[in-house]
Amino acid sequence: MPTVLNIVSPMDALPPPKMEGVDVKVFYGAKQALFDVSLPVRNRSVTAMIGPSGCGKSTFLRCLNRMNDVILGARVEGAITLDGQNVYDKTVDVVQLRARVGMVFQKPNPFPKSIYDNVAYGPRIHGLSANKAELDGIVETSLKKAGLWKEVADRLDQPGTGLSGGQQQRLCIARAIAVSPEVILMDEPCSALDPIATAIIEELIDELRQNFTIAIVTHSMQQAARVSQYTAFFHLGYLVEYGETRQIFTNPKEARTQAYITGRFG
Amino acid sequence: MANLAQPATTRLNSPQAVARRRRQYMRERAIEALLFACAAVSVVVTLTIVLVLIRESLAFFSHVSIVEFLTSRTWTPLFSDAEYGILPLVLGTLLSSLVALLVALPLGMVIAIYLSEFAGARVRETLKPFLELLSGIPTVVYGYFALLIVTPLLQATILPNLPGFNVLSAGIVMGIMIIPYISSLSEDAMRAVPDSLRDGSLAMGATRLQTSIKVVVPAAFSGLAAAAVLAISRAVGETMIVAIAAGQQPNFTFNPTESAATITAYIAQVALGDLPHGSIAYQSIFAAGLTLMAMTLVFNLAAYWLRKRFREAY
Ligand SMILES: Nc1ncnc2c1ncn2[C@@H]1O[C@H](COP(=O)(O)OP(=O)(O)OP(=O)(O)O)[C@@H](O)[C@H]1O
Ligand SMILES: [Mg+2]
């Protein structure tokens, strides 16, 4: 049995957790995919989740905005808190939760609508703008924050699906931030992109950290090292090690972490 | 047995191998020719029908001017002072199809959205056979259903002055008949929309209903349009229901509560009678048939255009 090791770093400089998993267990039918994972996602910083394929990174990420609810037969135990409140509480409205915790997927999935309508989708659903001018403003700011404005300002009425892969992913990021979420979850957001598009997104993530709390799943160790402040290493459904990214990559406490980051398995 | 130690090129060029490839090639060609022949038969049949229609229509138009055919509001080919204005029949056809579409489109779409986006697998598998059954009912049964049940029902409730033969009942029942066309094609189109789009919408905090209406339906638009057009074509070509329940009097009207004849009803009526071959009335059914085909063609072109215009990439 692998042991669960939750490294509690010294309290002083660390930002407080924005979200936190407490003894999270996830089952898909009879199969358990996560075992007692306890993991903070700290405020206004980037938390990276790494680990070999099938270790439960996406599963944990999907607990944070309850996207596991959509999967037939998925069951979550334990608690996930957002600002101290359990998001799996009966009183929590999942619509509200997902407005506060946005998500960007592995494969860019813009809706088959115009660029404008893609970004305006969330604000319209949640009734965030009183009039067209306000909505225009939200769309523009979101596209600017996603670093896409300059490229699409003159063709907002064109379909979002006509953009390049990297642009589509930035459009999805713009779509996610248009409802001013507090947390953004990203599941391998660059795995379908070329190195240049990846570099742009990584830069963007670093900027977004000023305003948002970010949790990102990645298969690239370099990417985790470049963009994150905290790293969690998963293996076979267990959280093996969590700590500041610098420490995880230079001085891992667990042999398995060491083996994984040096490329000896995975 | 080929010697494995030989280089591959030598083995591939051995006489046996060459002969085998030759046989294989001949067989492929034979199968290809057979498949082509099957495809060709359908083309030949279609062309023959069109040619016959055109030939008989040309004979018709040598007696009746195209202008009269397309503009006169009276269609009385069986009277002694015959008039040949196709408009009443075209109107009857469009009106009954429109009523059918007004019934079938909303219902079919709602059913499709429910089946594709909400129903569990078990409910879906139970419901679908019943739906398919609707299109399996013989149209003559539908015709009498319209005449003997729907019309009296409408007369007893909201339309006391409804005549016994009317376009409305025929259209409503025709709508019920084409619901499965719309619902099952629409459901297919919606289920082809990738889950990644639904996930994207749900993760934005949209409800399932919002996701269905704002993402899935627009994403499936071209498929839905195709379903609607196929249903229209089916309604425009439907004969039995309108012949039985809508009356067979050509009537230039936009009012569905009146009786009217459709192109198909007229053709059926005349084709069953004993008209002398080669008479103008006999030839008129070919001109009517050609008109019907032209209408269907227009709908299909519209569908093609819709698909191109709103082709959704996802
Ligand atoms: N919808 C599902 N139904 C059943 N089992 C699932 C489902 N999704 C994931 N699993 C299982 O749960 C385990 C964890 O999967 P998860 O997708 O979280 O892994 P991951 O770390 O994200 O892997 P990857 O790096 O390949 O994306 C795997 O064993 C997987 O097979
Ligand atoms: Mg994953």
Q: What are the Cα distances from residue B312, in Å, to B27, B149, B302? A: 40, 43, 17
Phi, psi of B65, deg, nearest 5: -75, 145
A18 at interface of B, judged by CB pairs closer than 8 A: no
Q: What ipTM was reported for this prediction?
A: 0.88
How far apart are the C-alpha atoms of A164 and A171, rounded to whole Å?
A: 10
pLDDT value for A2:
47
Q: Which ligand 1 atom lies nearest to the CA of residue A56?
A: 18
- What is the rounded distance in angstroms from the CA atom of residue A96 to the CA atom of residue A99? 5
- pLDDT band, residue A1 (cuts 50/70/90): very low
Predicted confidence at residue B160, as pLDDT, reads: 86
Q: Are strands A85-86 and A183-187 parallel, antiparallel or unpaired?
A: unpaired
| Chain A contact probe: residue of B190, B204, B210 with most A CBs at under 10 A | B204
| A29 Cα nearest atom in ligand 1 | 4
| Domains and their CATH numbers in chain A | 17-261 (3.40.50.300)
Judge whether residue B4 has pLDDT over 70.
Answer: no
Q: What part of A 67-106 touches B (C-beta under 8 Å)?
A: 67, 70, 94-99, 102-103, 105
Decide if pLDDT at B288 tops 60.
yes
CA distance A101 to B165: 61
CA pair distance B228, B189, nearest whole angstrom? 12
What 8-state DSSP symbol labels residue B84?
A: B
**Consecutive H or E run containing B243:** helix B240-245
Sequence-distant (6+) residues with CB within 8 A of A42 are A14, A15, A16, A17, A18, A213, A229, A230
First to last CA, chain B: 52
**Distance (Å) of CA B51 to CA B44, B55, B57, B60, B293:** 10, 6, 10, 14, 12
For A200, which DSSP code? H
User: What angle is formed at CA B137 by the lines to CA B131 and CA B143, rounded to 5 degrees?
Assistant: 120
CA atoms within 13 A of residue B238's CA, in its CB half-sphere? 37
pLDDT band for position B187 (50/70/90)?
very high
What SS3 class is residue B139? helix
Are B204 and A176 in contact (CB < 8 Å)?
yes
B231-262 per-position pLDDT tens digit: 888 899 888 888 888 888 888 888 888 888 89
- pLDDT tens-place string over residues B108-122: 999 999 999 999 889
**Highest-confidence segment of B65-74, B148-157, B298-307:** B148-157
- Starting from the CA of residue A60, give the closest ligand: 1
**Which ligand 1 atom is the nearest neighbour of the CA of A72?**
1
Report the alpha-carbon angle A224-A227-A229, nearest 5.
Answer: 85
Q: Each residue of B25-45: pLDDT tens digit? A: 999 999 999 999 999 999 999
Is residue A60 pLDDT above 80, yes or no? yes
pLDDT tens digits for range B201-237: 999 999 999 999 999 999 998 888 888 888 888 899 8
pLDDT at B48 over 60: yes
pLDDT one-digit tens code per residue, A4-17:
445 554 555 788 89
Percentage with pLDDT > 90 across chain B: 50
Which CA distances in Å does B213 have to B53, B207, B245? 44, 10, 36
Task: In whole angstroms, give the CA distance from residue B307 to residue A6.
Answer: 55
Q: Three-class SS of residue A230?
A: strand
Q: B300 and B233 in contact (C-beta within 8 Å)?
A: yes
| 3-state class (DSSP) for residue B143 | helix
pLDDT of B18 over the 50 cut: yes
B164-173 pLDDT, tens digit per residue, is: 899 999 999 9
Of B197, B207, B219, the CB nearest to A95: B207
Q: Could you read off the pLDDT of B85-108 as tens digits, one per residue?
A: 889 999 999 999 999 999 999 999
Residue A3 has pLDDT above 60, yes or no: no
Q: Give the model's pLDDT for residue B312.
A: 57
A162 to chain B: which residues are within 8 Å by CB?
313
Assess contact for A106 and A188: CB atoms under 8 A.
yes
Tokens matching residue A182? 């507090």
Kindly state the average pLDDT of the residues A180-186.
Answer: 94
- Residue A171 confidence (pLDDT): 95
- List C-alpha distances in Å: B86 to A156, B73, B79, B252: 48, 7, 15, 10
Give A 143-182 residues with CB within 8 A of chain B. Answer: 159, 161-162, 172, 175-176, 179
**Which residues crowd ion ligand 2, with CB under 5 Å?**
A 58
pLDDT of B313 strictly over 60: no
What long-range pairs does A204-212 form, CB within 8 A, spacing at least 24?
A: A204/A146, A204/A147, A204/A170, A204/A173, A205/A46, A206/A46, A207/A145, A207/A147, A208/A145, A208/A173, A208/A177, A208/A184, A209/A44, A209/A45, A209/A46, A210/A44, A211/A44, A211/A145, A212/A44, A212/A177, A212/A181, A212/A182, A212/A183, A212/A184
Any B CB within 8 A of A28 CB: no
CB B266 within 8 A of CB B89: yes
